[in-house]
């Protein structure tokens, strides 16, 4: 059994001989984890996913899904993966049920199994009442859920999700997150997803890779990445006067303390672990902590640290973004 469910080695895609969409990236995804590609639009996320799902041929480098080469054993790869694309690809003229059965036929899932499974999946994504309605009348959230169901009809070992909540409102987004989490738990699947929502990467992914201009800038678990920024900030107020800086400094996990006129700003490694230790240590010295707040750095700060801009900035250079997107879409053939 292969432990690296997905493995990319120097994976590169150059469109029209000049536009480098993905630039020699290396990464690996382990069994059972949710791995996220985080980056602004046009960073090369969709191009990467399209190479992994064998819809685009890599210009250079190699990628393996469950040990199968995406270029040379494309058909083996296609059999074991499920895909939830960025666009709504379900046929509007057909009903939800017809759409999902079409997917089953394409994967060669035996009819009887497919019928049973389709009903099960409609229940999972809460579309049972709409299964015989034309997709035309579905809302954006419903269509996304239908795509999710279609991507699962063949019980894939690896599920690829391209921007699974793009353009959805906050509630629908949270619902989709729930389905994704449930999938991972119930089916033990490995998931590869792309997103440009920091909260999404943070909420769902076991590990992420930040990608920008076709390169992976940094990768790791969201917490590790946040920790790499230098840790959490604990701010406390203490009842007794007198300097407790030295006491705090001697506590495990504490990296730095600053006295800010009555309040102490403490930089620590793991905030949840350090906070009770600090309270306990101060209590033993006879000091009472009256207030405590714990601030964890968000992926926003991580992103800022590694790319030199916030993800919003990256998105807001609109003209260049739009130009790049159009170019990419054309080259990709959308």
Partner 1 sequence: MSEASDYHPSIFRGLWALTGRELKKWLKEPIMLLMAILQPVIWMGLFGKAMNLNAMFTASNLQLDTSKIPENIVIGDVTIPRDVLIQAIQQMFSDIGAKVMRNVFGITDYFSYMSVGMISMIVMFTTMFSGMSIVWDRRLGFLGKVLSTPVPRAAIILSKMLNAALRAVFQTTIILALAIIFGLKLSETFTLFNLLGVYAAVFLVSMGLSSLFLALALRSTRHETQMAIVNLINMPLMFASNIFFPINMMPKWMQTIARVNPVSYLTDAIRQLTVLQLDTPTLIVDFIYLGVFATLLSVLGVILSWRYLIK
- CB of 1 vs partner 1, minimal distance in Å: 7
- CB of 22 vs partner 1, minimal distance in Å: 14
Binding residue for partner 1, selected from 60, 72, 105, 182, defined by CB under 8 A: 105
- CB of 285 vs partner 1, minimal distance in Å: 55
- The contact mask relative to partner 1 for 32-51 (x = CB under 8 A, - = no) is ------------------x-
* 291-304: b (≥16 Cβ within 10 Å) or e: ebeeebbebebbbb
Binding residue for partner 1, selected from 45, 78, 143, 253, defined by CB under 8 A: 78
Q: How far apart are CA 227 and CA 218, in angstroms?
A: 13
| Closest CA relative to residue 194, chosen from 45, 18, 78, 86 | 45
Helix (H/G/I), strand (E/B), else coil: 192: strand
Q: How far apart are CA 123 and CA 228, in angstroms?
A: 41
3-state secondary structure 138-178: CCHHHHHHHHHHHHHCCCCCEEEEECCCCCCCHHHHHHHHH
Q: Which stretch binds partner 1 (CB under 8 A): 83-91, 123-131, 250-258, 290-298?
A: 83-91
Q: Across-strand partners of 69?
A: 64
Binding residue for partner 1, selected from 14, 19, 20, 102, defined by CB under 8 A: 102
Q: Which stretch binds partner 1 (CB under 8 A): 106-114, 199-207, 212-220, 259-267?
A: 106-114
Phi (first) and psi of residue 111, to 5 degrees: -50, -45
- The answer to whether residue 131 forms part of the interface with partner 1 (CB under 8 A) is no
Q: Which pair of structure tokens corresponds to residue 45?
A: 């996320």
Residues near partner 1 (CB under 8 A) are 1-2, 50, 53-57, 66-67, 75-76, 78-81, 83, 85-89, 91, 93-94, 98, 101-103, 105-110, 154, 157, 330, 332-334
């Amino acid at each position: 059994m292969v432990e690296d469910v997905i493995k990319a080695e120097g994976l590169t895609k150059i469109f029209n001989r000049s536009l480098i969409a993905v630039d020699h990236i290396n990464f690996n995804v382990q069994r059972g984890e949710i791995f996220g590609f985080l980056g602004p639009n046009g960073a090369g996320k969709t191009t990467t996913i399209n190479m992994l799902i064998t819809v685009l041929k890599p210009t250079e480098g190699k990628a393996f899904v469950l040990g199968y080469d995406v270029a040379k054993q494309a058909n083996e790869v296609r059999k074991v993966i499920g895909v939830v694309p960025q666009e709504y690809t379900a046929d509007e003229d057909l009903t939800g049920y017809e759409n999902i059965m079409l997917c089953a036929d394409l994967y060669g899932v035996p009819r009887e199994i497919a019928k049973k499974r389709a009903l099960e999946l409609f229940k999972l994504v809460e579309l049972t009442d709409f299964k015989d309605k034309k997709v035309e009348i579905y809302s954006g959230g419903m269509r996304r859920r239908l795509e999710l169901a279609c991507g699962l009809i063949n019980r894939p070992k690896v599920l690829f999700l391209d921007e699974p909540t793009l353009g959805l409102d906050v509630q629908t987004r949270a619902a989709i997150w729930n389905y994704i989490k449930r999938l991972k738990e119930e089916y033990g699947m490995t998931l590869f997803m792309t997103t440009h929502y920091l909260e999404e990467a943070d909420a769902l992914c076991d590990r992420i890779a930040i990608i920008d201009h076709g390169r992976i800038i940094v990768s790791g678990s969201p917490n590790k990445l946040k920790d790499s920024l230098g840790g959490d900030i604990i701010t406390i107020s203490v009842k007794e006067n007198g300097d407790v800086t030295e006491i705090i400094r001697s506590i495990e996990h504490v990296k730095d303390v600053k006295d800010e006129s009555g309040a102490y700003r403490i930089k620590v490694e793991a905030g949840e672990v350090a906070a009770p230790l600090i309270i306990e240590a101060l209590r033993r010295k006879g000091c009472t902590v009256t207030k405590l707040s714990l601030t964890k750095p968000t992926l926003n700060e991580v992103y800022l640290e590694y790319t030199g801009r916030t993800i919003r900035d990256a998105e807001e250079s609109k003209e260049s973004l739009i130009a790049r997107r159009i170019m990419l879409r054309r080259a990709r053939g959308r």
